[in-house]
Structure 1
Amino acid sequence: MDFRCRPGTITALVGASGSGKTTVANLAARLWDVDSGAVRIGGADVRDLGSDRVMGLVTTVHQDVYLFDGTVRFNVTLGRPEATDAEVWAALAAAQCDDMVRALPGGLGHQLADGGSGLSGGQRQRLSIARALLKDSPVLILDEAVAAVDPRTEARIQEALARLVAGRTTVVIAHRLDTVREVDRIVVLAGGAVEAAGTHDELFTTSPTYRALLDTHSTQDVPTV
């Protein structure tokens, strides 16, 4: 498997279950290391950079968000604990969830139950986006964040994501192909290898695998609001 993500662009990884999308994401974030070859950020092998440096360079926003037993402020500032309240509120506003936090008893000091069980899935997702915005790392790995939410919540999450990806090198693990048609580049994975890469229009013409994925998802996808 060999591909590059150009700085400041959005690259979507698509493929059937088991094709390697999550593996690529975990390797890029250095949750795992490769047995051969190399994963590089800015030309440097992540193993040479070290885990702490990679953690500072890369932020992953997961589809299934876990919040810790602590305050809202603690959860949002995990990547930047020295952030001021003004910076935290600015990140919450950009993530479309400052109104929700202001409505909580105690605001930033509100104590969340383990896992954020008192919040909806959309609220937890927007808090995780605020956390990523505040951390402000140059590389973003995004596990699509709009599954199983109502259209109004989806619209707010999409607006927050648009602010999050701006200017960052972003890798999107795509579960819904309708959400990635306008990205800069789509990489089609099959059997742990790159089967094809290009724009939506290019792959629709040249990649049977991509067309098959579109056909498979066409009966499942709901248009993005």
Structure 2
Amino acid sequence: MNPIVFHIISGDAFFSGVAVLLAVVCYRWYHRTKTIDSAKVRLLLLIVFLCGLIGVVFSSTPMPLWFAILLMGLTLAWCGTLWYGATRCPGTHRATVMLMVVSWSLAAALEFPWRQLPVTATAPVNALTVIGDSVSAGMEEGEAETWPSLLSRQHNLEVQDLSHVGETAGSALKRLLSNGIHHDWIIVEIGGNDILGSTSASQFEIDLEALL
């Protein structure tokens, strides 16, 4: 899988996006008393800032609606103080910078624990079942080897691969009921198509609960 695509769909783009946003904010704060005359530098800062925002948005990281609105509002307020002139309203600009740094750092800190891998007791495993979407099934990349196949080959495991391109929690449940589970150990990688598609949060919760 393309590393950029994987970086986005894995959710890691949220952290890199936040890091880019804060880097631009801190850079502009450090140079707050200076006017950036170079059009190329201003354009570069704008592109980098937009890339950070795109990374955050495309990561589809779930968060309360009010918090997302707060983050976007603070971001727009910071952009507004830059446009109006940081030297004209230094107090307001300083406040927006502090709120930007605190809020985006808090968002990353709250999301970080969900990215940690669980620690489980070791046990002999020679077979497992994979339930997943295109992250597991591949994205029509021809002869590219999927990670369930790679896992099976490198660790000499029997893998029942029930992953399918475009799979949602609801369709995975139907596929599971029709095929059955052959092994005790199961890896579930699902939800990206639900979040990016038309599945409501309540329906996704119901489907995922039924699947698990």
Whether the TM-score (by the shorter chain) exceeds 0.5 is no
| More helix by percentage | 2
Q: Normalised by the shorter chain, which TM-score bucket? A: under 0.3
